[in-house]
Amino acid sequence: MGCLFATQLASAGCNITLLLRNKPQKTSGYVTVDSDGVSRNFAVGLGHAPTATNVTHLLVSTKAQDVGAAVRGVAPHIDEQACIIFATNGMGYAEEVKALLPRNPIYYATSTEGAYRLGSLHICHAGRGQTRIGSTEALPPPPWLGDWTNTGLDCRWEENITAALWHKLAINCAINPLTAVHRCHNGDLAKNKQLAVQVKQLCDEIASISLAAGFAMTAESVHSDVAAVIAGTADNRSSMLQDVVAGRDTEIDYITGHLLRTAEKFGADAPYNRNLLNEVVSLG
């Protein structure tokens, strides 16, 4: 998603530098985006966090478990006004950043755009969706929102981004861990009767926790929304399954882990989600 946003913002006239995990050989390069059978190259700057300078807007699109390290790497080079925008799955990863950079304004982006990696700096923009951006600190829409709405993507301001992030978390809780444990496509969660029963059990718990935590709309719609996402992404392998297959750490602590910490806060129990978290942890 980082490459997708970077290329779209670059084409809207923003000065973009991709901060790569490993130090790049060059200071500029191209990101290739395949979309509707056409490949397009977008010129971007290339950099490395420890040498980054003049960072005014930091878009963090790492895995949730890598957010802290990624921001720590750039922190010495960004000033107090620099905006931090998280485009990351899950919830509960921003606390470490807030402790590190207490004065910087923080925003969140949650997206249903479909994009996957084909290679280094090469992605496929597979499906159109919507990106909602908002603040959990009651900040007003920032001036740079116009850069996002000028991209070819459907981007809009979201007044209640916490509810939007929670809704995405609820969907991910019901789909990602189960597909990772059973190494199946999203669609198998509806096709396979036993898995469909498990989805229902997970959703029942997610609905009760959502209600207790004040997310009544998610509580009401989670069963049907999960069914719709399973149908709409039937041939996909969830991001958590891809992490497991690639031997990477998963985002389970920021997805089901966050759900369970919220449940605990409200004195609720969620045994199906807890067992599933333990199963995913034992995979690694």
Indicate whether 176 belongs to the interface with ligand KPL (CB under 6 A): yes
1, 59, 97, 171: residue in contact with ligand KPL (rule CB under 6 A): 171
Reduced to 3 states (helix: H, G, I; strand: E, B; else coil), residue 221 is helix
Q: Which stretch binds ligand KPL (CB under 6 A): 67-75, 79-87, 213-221, 232-240?
A: 232-240
Residue 221 tokens, joined: 């719609």
- How many whole angstroms separate alpha carbon 155 and alpha carbon 109? 9
HEC profile for 30-96?
Answer: EEEEEECCEEEEEEEEEEEHHHCCCEEEEEECCCHHHHHHHHHHHHHHEEEEEEEEECCCCCCCCHH
Active-site residue set: 168
Among 7, 131, 238, 262, binds ligand KPL (CB under 6 A): 238
Confirm or reject binding of residue 218 to ligand KPL (CB under 6 A).
no
> Distance (Å, rounded) from C-alpha 180 to C-alpha 171?
14
What tokens were used for 203? 């959703």
Length of the chain: 284
Q: Does residue 135 belong to the site contacting ligand KPL (CB under 6 A)?
A: no
Q: How far is the CB of 150 from ligand KPL (least distance, A)?
A: 26
By CB under 6 A, the residues from 3 to 42 that bind ligand KPL are: none
Binding mask 51-90 for ligand KPL (x = CB under 6 A): --------------------------------------x-
Contact residues for ligand KPL, defined by CB under 6 A: 89, 171-172, 175-176, 186, 229, 233, 236, 238-239
